[in-house]
Structure 1
Amino acid sequence: MTSKTSGPWQPAASETTRSEQRLFAPATQRNRDAILAVLREVLPANGLVLEIASGSGEHALHFASALPGLIFQPSDPSREALESIKAWTQGAQNIRPPLLIDAAAPAWPVVHADAILCINMIHIAPWAATQGLIRQAGRILKAGAALYLYGPYRRPGRTLEPSNAAFDASLRSRNPDWGLRDLDEVAALAKEAGFSVPEVIEMPANNLSVIFRKEARR
């Protein structure tokens, strides 16, 4: 069983078109440049970047094209998504073939990465996927390396924005294991896995960039 059972392209059929085996996620067009601006400051100049829950593959292609010094390793638990990633990234020199990875799995087929990205997954997956993501990131990343998360969150002392409240209700109606996560709970998991307090950056459409750095072992 995969941890992410539905990609962001699936809920509205009217928003989904196919050219060959490519899937199109409308949100990617809206957020990719804002995310890229943050990643330019977060990612190393060189190295391997593992993306968890790559979805359609559009983000991987956009980031890899803009950051040629990095090698990108996309992944997803959906075989349909893997075919889309292959179609989007065919011929890209700095993108590896996608891997089948369930974030909640007890082991991943990756032993090292210089950074990990996860965009718009943890609210469209069971909590076990977030637990697995952070646990495996703590195992794979070395001191100073970044775990980058993007999406909407609940934050203490703040009322959810109306759009996020409606989105959260919609997610929970589709699957009670889904929904916006409490940022403090995510940060607590990360602390247990050896990560720093997160850097939080406000993003368009009430989303956040959340950057954790792996701390050196004491």
Structure 2
Amino acid sequence: MKNYSESCERNREPILDVLRQELAETTDVLEIGSGSGQHALFLSVELPHLQWQPSERPKLIDDLRGNLRQAAENVVPAAELDVTRLPWAVESFAAIFSANTLHIMPIEAVADFFAGVGQVLLPGGKLCVYGPFNYNGKFTSESNARFDRGLKEKDPERGIRDFEQLNRFAEQNGLELLNDHEMPSNNRLLVWRKIG
């Protein structure tokens, strides 16, 4: 498997527990930044009521498509999606999921992420975002502070994002916070709903 992620294997069960609850009434989901496809492969089997739409940036799409060759029937072919190219060339969805993506995007791309979500998420639909987040401008753990330093050493535009800023982006694009789930390893799973 290309671009295999050990963290995907570690976090998939806790994510499943939350999505099973949050997406129980949902029919389809767009995954943004599917990476290796490990979440799509696992979650689509555990949540068979969902049609799962993986997506990835153009330069990574071929590897993702190769990894998804043996995917369950409810996984549709992976779509090319660069969050900075607005408007997004995808249909509307009842839910959107993204894991460990916002801290590797420049903050301008994070703003574009929420703008795109605001455009394609159906009214009443949910946005579920998993990862590490700061609160009140502070790290929630020393391990997250170390992780942030490592991100910035690779690229100064990367970094753990402040929840308050993300929530402002969400509200500017017609989303309201529903839940903030505590997850293992100092991570969270944030859930917003499209108003309307």
Question: Smaller-chain TM-score range?
Answer: over 0.9
Residue 159 and residue 177 in structure 1: after superposition, are their counterparts in 2 closer, same or farther (change >3 A)? closer
Runs (4+) off by over 4 Å: none
The alpha-carbon deviation at position 176 of structure 1 amounts to 0.8
Structure 2 unaligned runs (5+)?
A: none
Q: Which amino acid aligns with 1:23?
A: N
Pick from 123, 126, 131: which aligns with 1:143? 123
Q: 2:89 aligns to what? A: 109
SS in 2 for 1:191: helix
Structure 2 residue 20 is the aligned partner of structure 1 residue 40? yes
For 2:171 and 2:178, the matched residues in 1 are separated by 9
For 2:137 and 2:104, the matched residues in 1 are separated by 23
Residue 83 and residue 156 in structure 1: after superposition, are their counterparts in 2 closer, same or farther (change >3 A)? same
| Alpha carbons 1:123, 1:178 under 8 Å: kept | yes
Q: How many pairs align?
A: 195
The superposition leaves residues 146-194 of structure 1 with CA deviations (integer Å, 9 ceiling, x where unpaired) of 0010100110175441100000011111111100011000001101111
Mean Cα displacement is larger for which, 205-214 or 86-95?
86-95
Q: 1:186 aligns to what? A: 166
Q: Which amino acid aligns with 1:169?
A: R
The alpha-carbon deviation at position 45 of structure 1 amounts to 3.8
SS in 2 for 1:205: coil
For 1:210 and 1:49, the matched residues in 2 are separated by 16
TM-score scaled by length of structure 1: 0.84
The superposition leaves residues 34-82 of structure 1 with CA deviations (integer Å, 9 ceiling, x where unpaired) of 00100001114452210000000000111101111111110111533x2
Q: 1:86 aligns to what? A: 65
Q: 1:127 aligns to what? A: 107
| Alpha carbons 1:44, 1:114 under 8 Å: kept | no
Q: Which amino acid aligns with 1:42?
A: E
The alpha-carbon deviation at position 23 of structure 1 amounts to 2.9
For 2:116 and 2:3, the matched residues in 1 are separated by 28
SS in 1 for 2:176: coil
Q: Which amino acid aligns with 1:98?
A: A
Structure 1 unaligned runs (5+)?
A: 1-17
The alpha-carbon deviation at position 140 of structure 1 amounts to 1.2
Q: Which amino acid aligns with 1:201?
A: H
Cα RMSD after superposing both structures: 1.5
Q: 2:40 aligns to what? A: 60
Mean Cα displacement is larger for which, 155-164 or 106-115?
155-164
For 1:179 and 1:160, the matched residues in 2 are separated by 14
The alpha-carbon deviation at position 198 of structure 1 amounts to 4.3
SS in 2 for 1:145: strand
SS in 1 for 2:93: coil
* Identity across matched positions, percent: 34
For 1:85 and 1:45, the matched residues in 2 are separated by 27
Q: Which amino acid aligns with 1:51?
A: E
| Alpha carbons 2:56, 2:64 under 8 Å: kept | no
Q: Which amino acid aligns with 1:26?
A: E
Structure 2 residue 182 is the aligned partner of structure 1 residue 202? yes
The superposition leaves residues 187-210 of structure 1 with CA deviations (integer Å, 9 ceiling, x where unpaired) of 011011111134111100000000
TM-score scaled by length of structure 2: 0.93
